[in-house]
Amino acid sequence: MSISPGGALAQLAGDLVPQAVRLHLVSWHDRGDFNNANLGVALRWKGGPTVGGFHNSFGRASWYGGLIIPLVERQALQLELMTGVISGYSESSPVDLVAVPTLGVRLSPQNSLQVVFMPRFVIPANVVHVMFERRFGSLGRDASPDGVTASP
């Protein structure tokens, strides 16, 4: 089977287009006086790569990049692990390594609410953070942004 140059270019272009956008909304901290209005935006591509930025718990800009690894995918729920690096928290290092679980609840085929659980290792508080995710194109109808079809 041969692939035409136009077909290969279309495939490459399709892989470069984000499959979903995530809007960072609010957080809840179990202690301390932290910023809970953590507005920001992130992009997610097929296969799990993600990049984004938001106004963090310290009131600073944070930028991150990493990989979202799906653990469990069901009709209405998804459990994922977000891994990567993030800036804006440490005074001694430009970035911190992170790995946090995320629980997604599908509101519709293209929309979900994402709840991120951040244990007390980057800041001195446990954090629950809420994001809204909008999937684009045919992904919203029958698959996750990782290209895995949702199972019942």
Give pLDDT tens digits for 85-105. 999 998 888 999 999 999 999
Q: What is the mean pLDDT of the chain?
A: 86
Residue 49: strand pairing partners: 67
Confidence (pLDDT) at 136 = 92
Taking 60 as the threshold, does the pLDDT of residue 118 lie above it?
yes
Confidence (pLDDT) at 12 = 54
Higher pLDDT, 9 or 87: 87
Asked if 24 contacts 34 with a C-beta cutoff of 8 angstroms, the reply is no
Higher pLDDT, 93 or 140: 93
Give 152's pLDDT tier (boundaries 50, 70, 90).
Answer: very low
Per-residue pLDDT averaged across 37-61, rounded?
Answer: 96
Chain position carrying tokens 């992130």: 42
Give pLDDT tens digits for 70-82. 999 998 999 999 9
Confidence (pLDDT) at 151 = 40
Q: Which domains does the chain have, with CATH numbers?
A: 19-142 (2.40.160.20)
Higher pLDDT, 112 or 143: 112
Asked if 87 contacts 95 with a C-beta cutoff of 8 angstroms, the reply is yes
Terminal Cα-to-Cα distance of the chain (whole angstroms):
34
